Amino acid sequence: MPQSFARVKETFDAWAMYQAVVDADYMHHAEIVATLAAWAQKQTEPLRIIDLGCGNSWLATHAFKNANIASYHGVDVSDASTLAQENIAIWPGRAEVVAGNLADFLRAQPGASATVILASYSIHHFSSEAKVELINECRRVLVPGGTFIWIDAIRRNDESHNAYIARLTGVMQNEWTALTLDGRDKACTHVRESDFPESSSWTLDHVAAAGFKLSRSILARDFFRGWAFTKT
Ligand SMILES: C[S@@+](CC[C@H](N)C(=O)[O-])C[C@H]1O[C@@H](n2cnc3c(N)ncnc32)[C@H](O)[C@@H]1O
């Protein structure tokens, strides 16, 4: 039975709340943009990017604005996919963002059709079983030597799901003051209902088992981590 993303969609349809989180840098977008931009500058071939759960494509268009982009395909289940159209105008004729479930989108992509798959803060909305399927699909869709960039909410290795959610929502309630009180309540409810973070070791083990090699760390913060993996 496929997971329902109706509540996730509802949260991100009201994009302003998440954009306030991005603008206040609570999820370290500035560091992610700088790290991805530096990584992209070192790539020798034009990039063919798939962005899973792209939102309004703020992250990709900031990180890759000076990169050599052959194509960019974003997908998002929320109305943010409409907002993305303005941002991706920096890549005329080479970029599109569609509305839909990223798992269905990925399944529909031909094998070896992307050089980069970016999944930033989106995969933690899936169950563990569905995450494993997504990892395998990413490997199928990437060219050999292609890069899977996975940034997400990640638990400490010795931490339970409930302990992580309690710790994160505590920080959100007390420290995410750029959001209104109502906004913080809504954001915490979203995290309690719709976030299923894995631990670092679960993530690294399952990505390796699917046939990827860790190439570099992208983000190493307390609640949030990211890595770039190469398809072997
Ligand atoms: C926390 S936001 C991250 C947005 C952007 N990637 C970033 O890093 O700032 C999560 C995004 O994933 C999208 N999303 C969650 N589940 C999805 C699914 N099953 N299919 C497509 N998009 C999904 C949400 O709509 C939302 O825009």
pLDDT in tens, 104-118: 999 999 999 999 999
Nearest CA to ligand 1 atom 26: 55
pLDDT at 199 over 90: yes
Nearest CA to ligand 1 atom 9: 59
- CA–centroid distance, residue 55 to ligand 1 (Å): 5
- CA–centroid distance, residue 81 to ligand 1 (Å): 10
What pLDDT digit, counting tens, does each position of 39-95 carry?
999 999 999 999 999 999 999 999 999 999 999 999 999 999 999 999 999 999 999
Predicted pLDDT at 130: 98
Phi, psi of 109 (to 5 degrees): -80, 140
Q: Which residues line ligand 1 (CB under 6 A)?
A: 5, 8, 12, 18, 22, 53-55, 59, 75-78, 80, 101-102, 120-122, 125
Q: Residue 46 is part of which domain span?
A: 6-231
Predicted pLDDT at 14: 94
- 216's tokens: 């570099």
Nearest CA to ligand 1 atom 14: 53
Q: Whole-prediction pTM value?
A: 0.98
Predicted pLDDT at 159: 98
Has residue 174 been placed in a domain? yes
Q: Is 221 exposed, middle or buried (0-12, 13-18, 19+ CB in 10 A)?
A: exposed
What pLDDT digit, counting tens, does each position of 147-164 carry?
999 999 999 999 999 999
Predicted pLDDT at 28: 98
Q: How many independent structural domains does the chain possess?
A: 1
pLDDT at 123 over 50: yes
Has residue 1 been placed in a domain? no
Residue 77: CB atoms within 10 A of its CB come to 22
Predicted pLDDT at 180: 95
The enclosing domain of 42 has a CATH number of 3.40.50.150
Has residue 156 been placed in a domain? yes
Bridge partners of residue 168, in order along the sequence: none
Predicted pLDDT at 1: 44
Residue 211: CB atoms within 10 A of its CB come to 15
What number does the ligand 1 atom closest to the CA of 13 have? 25
- 19's tokens: 């954009």
Has residue 103 been placed in a domain? yes
What pLDDT digit, counting tens, does each position of 129-147 carry?
999 999 999 999 999 999 9
CA–CA gap between residue 51 and residue 46 (Å, rounded): 16
DSSP E strands: which ranges in the chain?
Answer: 47-52, 69-76, 95-99, 114-120, 142-155, 198-199, 212-220, 224-231
- CA–centroid distance, residue 121 to ligand 1 (Å): 6
What pLDDT digit, counting tens, does each position of 2-25 carry?
678 999 999 999 999 999 999 999
Bridge partners of residue 119, in order along the sequence: 52, 150
Has residue 227 been placed in a domain? yes
First CA to last CA distance, the chain: 31
Can you tell me which residue has the tokens 């105008």? 89
Has residue 81 been placed in a domain? yes
- CA–centroid distance, residue 45 to ligand 1 (Å): 27
Predicted pLDDT at 2: 61
